[in-house]
Chain A
Amino acid sequence: MLRTAAGASAAGLVAGGALAAALPAAALPAAAAARPERSGQSAERPAHSATTTPDAGSAAGPLVIHVRDARTGEMDIFAGTTRTRLRDPALAARLVRASQ
């Protein structure tokens, strides 16, 4: 049962036309606009001190790309307990094509 109350589903297309995809880590190209946000250091977590999660930064588990806006190429990459926001219209376009 999916019970992620505040998270994004990775099960496919989500509301607003955004695209989410789970990829192996090797499929991710370097992106100049990448902006990593570790757990608790951004609006992801409230600004209280409970910020360091026990497995913070771990790359274990799936790597998930959530294309928030295919037009601008804005996307989030989820890996371990990190989220990285980047803007890469070409990659977004490729992912959209791959999903069709």
Chain B
Amino acid sequence: MSSHREAPEISKDPVADSTDVYAFVSPDRPSTVTLIANYIPLEEPAGGPNFYEFGDDVLYEIHVDTDGDGQADVTYQFQFSTALRDPDTFLYNTGPIRSLNSPNWNSRQFYTVTRVAGGISQPLGTGLACPPCNIGPLSTPRYATLAASAVHSLPGGVKVFAGQRAEGFYVDLGSIFDLATLRPFQQLHAKYGMHIFNRPEPGVNTTNELNVHSIALQVPIAALTGSSSRDESDPRAVIGVWTTASRRHVHILDADQGTSSWSGPFRQVSRLGNPLVNEVLIPLGKKDFWNTQPPIYDEMFASYVAHPELAALLPALYPGVFPHLAGLAKSGKPRADLEAILLTGIPAGLIKGFQNHTGPVLADMLRLNTAIKPARKPNILGVLGGDLAGFPNGRRVFDDVVTIELRAIAGLTYPLVAAAYKPDAAAGAITDGLTPEDVKKPYLRSFPYLGVPYGGYYNPS
């Protein structure tokens, strides 16, 4: 998946497990950017009696680098606290929840938002209410309206939302991790001598009808870049975005009191910038370590981007389908195209009218050129599809990042740095066979853009 359960240790800690990061110029408020960090992977909608919630003991952060050094210049911090109205009932709610202050809602969650810049912490909001989870038609009637009331306006033209959303990321996980058997091409797979697949089949969206917890922020562009009217060729228009989750050093389980307490500084346990980097490029033995590191140190992981294991596997798994990629992988030449896409941004001059370059520092950040306006007719393949407002120029909620990265790894983007290279025909066709049509809940046209979460009464159906 994008980054769901992508590393051994964090896979056991769902509330601190970042799953996706999005950053895009808001289509309905183009003077702002929307930043979304998703946590808690693969939430089954029927989550009772303890419905999903953020970790009260986790520090969630969205970082923005505005000068390309791989370090945060602006950080938004989110800390949550859960309040029980009645600890003597086992119920999440004792009647319909029709408002955020409903007396029927027993287990409520609130949060603070703090902006950190230049070493100064500025509280933006406290006691902000999360919406409840989408339980069902009796417990959470008119859920969409109820959840919309949890969009809070903060000083400085900032909007914030933190709560459950429908999973918008689509991926055929079952096929990809069954030895990269992409269903639309499964008949071409080597199949290890097992004659199982004789014809192509459509992809299956593993994350369909599941929810996540989103932290969504909408911020004026000028508050990050100093101006909302920069030219797209201006390096100052480019921001780098990533999220982290951190936990305290020490967790004490007091058996005598039946309580937990924490001590010590926060330490980072989860990180996410570009989708699929830790999931697909970083080797198993280093994934948890990668999660603890800031982007500024990503040079130590750069070889895994420059020489991706999957690029060498594809020709072996699909014999005769990727001959040019096989030659490229065998040559040992570093994949400067992937380094540009994922670690430095794409310099000016490679794609007409586009750059999101942040300089020589190798850092996994989602880079967004905020001067590029939202597309009127978005293409889910983003820059690969000629839509400069999509991934890897930031990432929108509907972008097909799996196909984009599969094609890039398969060599489709290598001509950006080596004009003489001719990609295999398959590099322009490879996909896991999914589109936003495979996401049952529609995306929203306005903040927070991810769809209304699936309710527990009707899902799974």
A3–B247 alpha-carbon span in the complex (Å): 9
Q: Please give the residue numbers on chain B whose beta carbons come within 8 Å of chain A beta carbons, in ascending order.
A: 9-10, 12-13, 15-16, 59, 61, 63, 71-75, 77, 79, 112, 114, 116-121, 244, 246-253, 261-269, 288, 291-297
- State whether B249 touches A8 (Cβ < 8 A): yes
Residue of B74, B247, B265, B292 ringed by the most chain A CB atoms within 10 A: B265
For residue A88, CB closer than 8 A to chain B, the reply is: no
Residues of B within 8 A of A62 (CB): 250, 252, 261, 263
- State whether A3 touches B12 (Cβ < 8 A): yes
- State whether A54 touches B121 (Cβ < 8 A): yes
- State whether A64 touches B59 (Cβ < 8 A): no
Residues of B within 8 A of A30 (CB): none
**A80 contacts which of B118, B263, B268, B291 (Cβ < 8 Å)?**
B263
List the A residue with the shortest CB-CB distance to B70.
Answer: A48
Residues of A within 8 A of B10 (CB): 5
- State whether A45 touches B71 (Cβ < 8 A): no
- State whether B294 touches A48 (Cβ < 8 A): yes
- State whether A5 touches B265 (Cβ < 8 A): no
Interface of B is mostly: strand
Given contacts A45-B246, A48-B75, A64-B250, contact A81 B264 (CB under 8 A): yes
**B266 contacts which of A22, A49, A81 (Cβ < 8 Å)?**
A81
Residues of B within 8 A of A48 (CB): 63, 71-72, 75, 294-296
Give the shortest distance, in Å, between A85 (CB) and chain B (any CB): 12
- State whether A39 touches B265 (Cβ < 8 A): yes
Residues of B within 8 A of A10 (CB): 250-252, 263
**A50 contacts which of B63, B250, B262, B293 (Cβ < 8 Å)?**
B63
Given contacts A5-B9, A10-B251, A54-B79, contact A46 B121 (CB under 8 A): no
- State whether B253 touches A50 (Cβ < 8 A): no
- State whether A4 touches B248 (Cβ < 8 A): yes
A83–B121 alpha-carbon span in the complex (Å): 21
